[in-house]
Structure 1
Amino acid sequence: MPSQSNTLYEHVFVDARADILFNFGCPYARTRLDETSSESMGTSNLDTQRTYPVIIQQTGEIYLIGLRFKPGGLSAFLPIPIHEISNLTLDIGMMFSASMMELQSRLYDAASFSQQIELLNTFFLKRLNPNAVHPYANEVARQIEQYGGEINIHALCQQVGYSIRTVDRIFNITYGISPKAYARIVRFQRALRQMRQNPSLNLASVAQNCGYYDQAHFAKDFSALAGQNADQFRKYLLAKSLAPNLVQILQAP
């Protein structure tokens, strides 16, 4: 719902999920952390699954309504291979036709948040196509998640009965990234959860618990997928636990 803000920063980590954002407020800036220039986002958009972290900067009136797809979930609503739109921000009208623009107008006119939720559920359930998702892609993802990203992809391919090239192709169509990249993200998110649950846990223990080769390997992956080093994030978590009114917006795991 609408709110006023001087400047709000949201540091968004990599999580293999796509988002749709309906923006009824002021434009916001999105900056890729390995670049210096920002992209102005003034309209509603589909933000597909990314392989890099970003910072969202919002100034002025903030009025956003959004939904986040589970990893691979976008493929049940779009009749295209998802890897073709990875790391892109796309106009929702172009991707979902005029019906999405009608939904946007109805969301803006809705009398309450619960009514907006009902509109979103009705719209997407009507367009859900579960048969578009390859069952082997979901099985590969399930096993990667079950083992927290610590899994041999070659052995997994043998288990599902396909070559690694075929599994890569099927997985990319549904999830927009390779199984190896997904395993890396799952392990990173596992490390994030451990750090949030126990900020005092030393980084060497986090690395060992999550199956990294060593702390240097963990540090490299964390920096690439979070856009900050693990020690910085740990210090933020420790400070937050000591001062609960310290606020920084971070996406939920």
Structure 2
Amino acid sequence: MKGKEMVYKSFANKHILGAYLFPCKDLESNQPLFNDGFPSLIFMPRSSDDVILKEKGKIIRLQSAWVCCGVIQDTQWEIPDGLEYIMVLRFNPASFYSIFDIDPLIFQSNPICGFRDIVDETWCSVIDEMYQKESIAEKVSFLDEVFSSCYIENNLPYFLQAAIEHIDEQRGNTTVSDLLKKLGGRINHKWLHRNFVKYLGISPKKYISLQRFIYAYGHCGPEDSADLFDVALNSGYYDYNHFFKDFKQYLGIAPSRYSWA
């Protein structure tokens, strides 16, 4: 989603890369969704809240806690009337799969899943306990304490971390071949592909494409939507048609029809 979010500073544990509160009151009822490829856990305000998504025309119903990872494409969220916010925890991938004992390959076919559908009863009980907390601050404090107590190996392989950092620094304006050269030829294409899929559930080429699109999307808005061609070129796209195809792939709609407000 595009919009202003509140960043929580109170998460001190190394497993969570960021914790955010997204206000939802001013969003349209059918909100296009996309993500950055990293595993994220999303909480609705109440345990009784349902989530209704439309993925390529297919209706998906989830409960109040849901997970996204891999690549979300052509998916809209039917935002309930009066929804105040959602809370999002963005995880270190190695931590996420170790903590919850989840195989990242499940996200290749289902980039959005109900949290309770992919974890054991212990974690379902944790979420039930979190929802018993009344305020957002109490929920955040509880979750921070829970994840801080998880003592597991959470480090990505060195060259995978270096690859991700380089792609992010280049804002996706690179290629797999250039990436391998940047890493000094110390790993090959097969190693890079295998480890991207293992920890992120997507290929390095797809991750590069996604980061380039996120950068371009972040520089579009109501005031400059008429200059999308310039935005696309400045973001590393070789022409507008290239950007148009990515926009349709990720958001399911043409840039000219998208509500930038």
Superposition TM-score, scaled by structure 1 size? 0.78
Give 1:141's aligned amino acid. I
Give 1:144's aligned amino acid. I
C-alpha displacement of 1:149: 0.7
| Mean CA deviation greater in 44-53 or 64-73 | 64-73
Counterpart position of 1:152 = 175
Indicate whether 1:211 and 2:236 are aligned: yes
Counterpart position of 1:247 = none
Q: Distance in 2 between matches of 1:181 and 1:143?
A: 15
Q: Distance in 2 between matches of 1:28 and 1:90?
A: 11
Task: Check whether the contact 2:42–2:88 (CA below 8 A) recurs between aligned residues.
Answer: yes
| Mean CA deviation greater in 110-119 or 69-78 | 69-78
Q: Distance in 1 between matches of 2:154 and 2:36?
A: 24
SS in 1 for 2:220: helix
Match for residue 202 of structure 2 among 161, 177, 183: 177
Task: Check whether the contact 1:25–1:64 (CA below 8 A) recurs between aligned residues.
Answer: no
SS in 2 for 1:111: coil
Structure 1 stretches lacking a partner, 5+ long: 241-253
1:90-138 deviations in Å (ceiling 9; x for gaps): 4534544333222222222213211100111112222263545222211
C-alpha displacement of 1:80: 4.7
Give 2:58's aligned amino acid. S
Q: Distance in 1 between matches of 2:37 and 2:234?
A: 22
Cα RMSD for the two superposed structures: 3.1
Matches within 5 A, 1:98-113: 98-113=121-136
Counterpart position of 2:13 = none
C-alpha displacement of 1:217: 0.9
1:180-208 deviations in Å (ceiling 9; x for gaps): 10110000011011113952561221121
Structure 2 stretches lacking a partner, 5+ long: 1-20
Counterpart position of 1:163 = 188
The structure richer in helix per residue is 1
Q: Distance in 2 between matches of 1:196 and 1:58?
A: 21
Identity %: 17
Counterpart position of 1:119 = 142
Superposition TM-score, scaled by structure 2 size? 0.75
Q: Distance in 2 between matches of 1:128 and 1:199?
A: 47
Match for residue 83 of structure 1 among 105, 109, 123: 105
Counterpart position of 2:16 = none
SS in 2 for 1:103: helix
1:42/1:75 CA distance change after superposition, 3 Å: closer
1:208/1:138 CA distance change after superposition, 3 Å: same
Give 1:19's aligned amino acid. S
